[in-house]
Every structure is written in C-alpha cells, then in structure tokens.
Amino acid sequence: MDRERASEVGLGIKNRFRAKLALALIIALFSGTAPAQTPPPQDAVRARAVTQTQNAPQSAPVPSPMPSAPPHPAGFVPATTRTIGELRAAIEEILHQPELAPAQFAAKVVSLDTGRTLFELNADKFMQPASNMKLYTIAAALDRLGPDFRFTTSVYAQTRPDASGKIRGDLIIYGRGDPTFAARFYDGDYYRAIDELAEKIVAAGVRRIEGDLIADESYFDGIPFGSGWEVDDLQWYYGAEISALTINDNSLDLFVKPGKRAGEPGTVTTGPETSLLKIINRTVTAPRGARRKLYVYRPLGENTLEVGGALPEDDPGYTASVSISHPALLFASLLRSALEKRGVKIRGKTRTIDAYMRRTAPFDPSSLIEIAQRQSPPLGQIIAQTLKPSQNLYTELILRALGNATRIDPKQSSEEAGIEAVKQFLRKAGIDEDRVQMVDGSGLSRSNLVTATTTVQLLTYMSRHRYAQVFRDALPIAGVDGTLRNRMRGTAAEGNVRAKTGTINNAASLSGYVTTAAGERLVFSLIVNNLPREADARRVYLDAIAILLAMFAGRS
C-alpha cells in the first residue's frame, strides 16, 4: 500500500486490513532445503534445531549452523593488489562474470583516511537496498535518541490496590514499542520477560483485578505492517505485524515432527505455547527414506495455522517461525497466565485497544495511576540485536519510536514521522535526501531506493559520530557473528569486515567498513539488483569484492 493512500485512509485501515485479508499462503517444504516458494528472510532463514519432546518447548531452539557460502565466484581466486589500478582491475574481473551480465551493480569504495575514492560504478544510480535500509534507520535513531534510550512499558490502574490487593476497574498494560519481550534477550526463554512484568505487578500488591486486563497498543498508529510490504512476506517472522506491545518477535516457533510409525499423525507444537493460535494438524508419518513434503497455511489476519503433508519416520523434524495476527492479544494472554500462576484473580476478560479505537479519546495517563513499569535494555544493546541478525520488526519499532519522539505534524502516522526524522538526520549529515527514497525502516519493501554514494556518505558520517563505536559494534563481523558469521571465513576479511548485509528476492547488498592489509580504513557499499539467482550465489560477488579490499596492500 502506498504512503499517500495510507495517509488518506488513516487509522481505521488497521482493523479493516485485518478483516479483509483472506489470502493464505501454501508453501511446499522439501527436505534439506528452504522451499523455493517461500520468500527468503531478509538475510537468512532462521535454521532451528528441533527439540525432541512432545510438548511445546519452554525455550527458543538454538539456531543450527548455516552452510557457509563460497568465498568467491567459481574460477576466481582473489589476490593481493598493490595499486589502485590493480584493485580496480580485480574488482572489474569479478563484475565481468557472465552471470552478472543481466544484473545491475552499484559500488563505491572510499578511504576514511584520505577521502579518496578507490572504486565506483553506477554509484549514483537508484538501487533497492534490501536490509541496508536498516543502516539509515538505526543511524538516525542513535543520533536522535542516543544509546541510553530505553523503551518503557507501563501498567496503569484507576486505583491502587487496597489492603486486600484488589484493584477496582481495569488493569491497563500500555506499550511503547519495546522489542525486548523476546526470547533472544533471555537466553532463549520465551516467558522470562513476561514473568518479570508479572512479578512487578504482584510486587505492587495486586492480588485481584475486578475489571478487564487490557493490552493498549495505541502508542503506534497507522497500519500494522511496513508500507509496501508484499503479501507473501506476511506469514513469516520477517514480515511480522508491528505493534506497540510486541511479544517474542510477534511470531511463534513452529515444530513439526514425525510420529513413531508410518501412518501415524505427526506432532505440531509451538513456542511459546498458547491457546490463541488454533492448530490444524494434517500431517502424516511416511516410511523411512521417503521424501519430506509439507505445507504451512495461515489465512492472513487470522490465528489459525494448518500444517499438512508427510514426514518420514527418520526425519529430524521441521521448524519455522510463523508470524501471528494481533500480537498485543498474545501479549495479554501470556501475561494473564503469568499473573494467574502467581495467584492473581482476574474477574474480567482479556482485550486490546489500538489507535483506531482511541481516535476520539486518546490515551491519557494523567487520569490513571502507574503501579508498575518495565524498562528495556538500552538502545545501544538493542541495535546490536537488530543489525547483526537483520531483525525487521525491531527496526520498524525503532523507526516508530523515533517518529513519536520527534513528530511535529499530528496528521502523520508513527511510521511517516519516523521517516521524516530520518530525512532530518540526512540533512544534518549533509546527505541529499532526494537520493534516498524510504518507505519503511527495515528494507523489506521493494519501493525503497538508495545509492551507493549516499550509503557511503552515511557510513562515513557515522564513523566520526559521537556514537561511532556503538554503531560499528552493532554491525555483523565477517566469519564471526550475525548474518556474516558463515561468510568470508578463512580469508583476510574474517574478523575484519564489519558490514550490513541485505537480501530480498533478486537483490543483495553489503555495506560497511574494512581495514586493508596496509592498515588503511575503507568504507564501501556494494549493491546488486535484478540477479535471479539463489541468495548465496548473489552474495558471493559481494563477498569477493570485500575480500579484495581486505587484501589490498597499497595506499589511496
């Protein structure tokens, strides 16, 4: 949906969007590979180790090792270059590979030490950046909010608990976009963050709630997805709904295992465990050695998940992360369970309030009493959990928090205000905002456009920023962590290149920093579009150039 239309429709689109979306995605999943029909995650499919238990797991599974991409194109052996001319010739050799002929490639390499350009090609042409868009969002948020900024989730009531612990009226959980109610911040524990909030409520003396438990997500307005997101992405964790009350990445980890004998149904469980999602299990166990063939089907806007097909008896199991609809309701449901386990009685129902419902009566905390609150870790820690794994939802939450903190025009949505704040940052950094078309914060939309030049300018500015080290530390490191952990291993780039990756269908990007063999600090941006190859095949050209830069023994 385009931005002009979103603005015209206003807050009401959120509920109408949920109500009208009935398109479902059917994905065939074949053993050993990600399904061809499944849109690839922003940078990598979250490979999961399967927990061997019949019950829903209490903790998030540990990611399995991902196969390492070859470090350079077939037949090309990177070598040390000693002059800029040799370096340029080596890069051009990569770009002259026949597979790249139909593609568009943009690149720029600049010395941070001298300011000299070592290489550029189509550097001022618009390109789809994929997740390199996150660099713009995070840089602007870090500049404006600072690394010590924290998200606050508040618990409000009309009265304090009386001597018996009773609260008359509703208990309201008011979210402000905290992404850290998530297993990745608690060593894989799905429930610890919610448990912490429940314990704070109990510590405030609450023993009985006479009214409803309300999850208020009205802090963010606008549609619950990034502008321009494709419907194919919305079933999966990397296209999860955006809510001011976010829980476990607004997704559920799905675990599918075969039965004990051929002909028996398989088992389907989720983590975290919840009754909010209705699971329809149509799986069957096939004989040993048979081919795995599964489908996952969730009507968009609904919390019904159908899983069907066959797994052989000896199959280790299939896992995926599936987004959920109305995540604030899952938040409230899990919190209610946590409170009831601690002896808190809740007389009323569990419900949610969004910005559309509050359009005539905005949330007013002055008429309420804050009885508890939870603060997130500082933004400096959160951005590392955003850039390194390329987390779309976190970036969108940060963009909207930035928008709400800086919004001047009340007619703008949280997303629109966030994008305006990024534009203000670009002007401050001396970057031509007309050379950046930003429609979401994460880069999942294909309508985003940047140039290699603007990206290099951004990275150069951040290299001298007062929070330069925080920004740099949040980037993936080649061969070490994040989306680069299995790339460029055993090369001069390993442990050296710090760069943001980006991958959407037919496009890939890599932009960041590298130190040459001669000790010179370089900043680079590499973007390839319109290359209909597997993701690893697209990345290999980018990695080869990054390795050449790390091996460069000359001076600019």
Catalytic residues: 131, 134, 390
Q: Give residue 164's identity as a one-letter amino acid code.
A: S
Nearest one of 71, 139, 46, 60 to 390, comparing CA atoms:
46
User: Distance of CA 215 to CAs 82, 405, 482, Å?
Assistant: 61, 21, 33
Cβ atoms of 1 and 285 within 8 Å: the answer is: no
What is the spatial distance between Cα 396 and Cα 442, in angstroms, rounded to a whole number? 6
According to DSSP, residue 308 is labeled: E
Beta bridge partners of 172: 156, 214
Structure-token pair, residue 500? 């943001």
Cβ within 8 Å of residue 432, ≥6 positions away = 426, 454
How far apart are the two ends of the chain, measured CA to CA in Å?
45
| The CA-based dihedral angle spanning residues 250, 270, 40, 510, taken in that order and rounded to the nearest 10 degrees | 60
Structure-token pair, residue 141? 């948020």
What is the spatial distance between Cα 351 and Cα 440, in angstroms, rounded to a whole number? 29
What is the spatial distance between Cα 169 and Cα 33, in angstroms, rounded to a whole number? 52
Structure-token pair, residue 324? 């959920």
What is the spatial distance between Cα 399 and Cα 418, in angstroms, rounded to a whole number? 5
Structure-token pair, residue 135? 């660099």
Structure-token pair, residue 343? 């002896």
DSSP reduced 3-state for 186: coil
Residue the block writes with tokens 């109990």: 202
What is the spatial distance between Cα 387 and Cα 400, in angstroms, rounded to a whole number? 17
At CB < 8 A and 24+ separation, what contacts does 262-268 make?
A: 262/286, 262/287, 262/288, 262/313, 266/311, 267/54, 268/307
According to DSSP, residue 400 is labeled: H
| DSSP string across 403-456 | HHHH---TTS-HHHHHHHHHHHHHHHTT--GGG-B-SSSSS-STT-BB-HHHHH
Cβ within 8 Å of residue 102, ≥6 positions away = 530, 531
Nearest one of 339, 341, 354 to 171, comparing CA atoms:
339
Cβ atoms of 326 and 300 within 8 Å: the answer is: no
What is the spatial distance between Cα 332 and Cα 173, in angstroms, rounded to a whole number? 8
Cβ atoms of 96 and 88 within 8 Å: the answer is: no
The secondary element (H helix, E strand) that includes residue 262 is none
What is the spatial distance between Cα 433 and Cα 423, in angstroms, rounded to a whole number? 6
Question: Within its chain, how far is the Cα of 125 from the centroid?
Answer: 27
